[in-house]
Amino acid sequence: MLTQTYVPVPGTADHVVLVSGASPVFDLAEAFHDVFDAVKSTFRFV
């Protein structure tokens, strides 16, 4: 299972950060997707 999210860089028109998460446990793919989404939601530029 692989999930990828592009996060736009503030103040730019053409830069993004690629946030990726992977797990080999297909039976838990949905749960891992939720975990990766929660981690991604904490991403901040400082």
The confidence score (pLDDT) of residue 30 equals 85
The two three-digit tokens of residue 30, written as one number: 């949905």
User: Which residue in 14, 16, 22 sits closest to 39, CA to CA?
Assistant: 22
The confidence score (pLDDT) of residue 26 equals 87
In the chain, which stretches have pLDDT less than 50? none
| Domain spans of the chain, in order of start | 2-40
Can you give the pTM of this predicted structure?
Answer: 0.65
What is the distance between the alpha carbons of residues 45 and 10, in angstroms, rounded to a whole number? 8
Sequence-ordered list of residues with C-beta below 8 angstroms from that of 29, at least 6 positions apart, any chain: 1, 23
The confidence score (pLDDT) of residue 39 equals 87
Phi, psi of 36 (to 5 degrees): -65, -35
The confidence score (pLDDT) of residue 24 equals 86
The confidence score (pLDDT) of residue 13 equals 92
The confidence score (pLDDT) of residue 22 equals 87
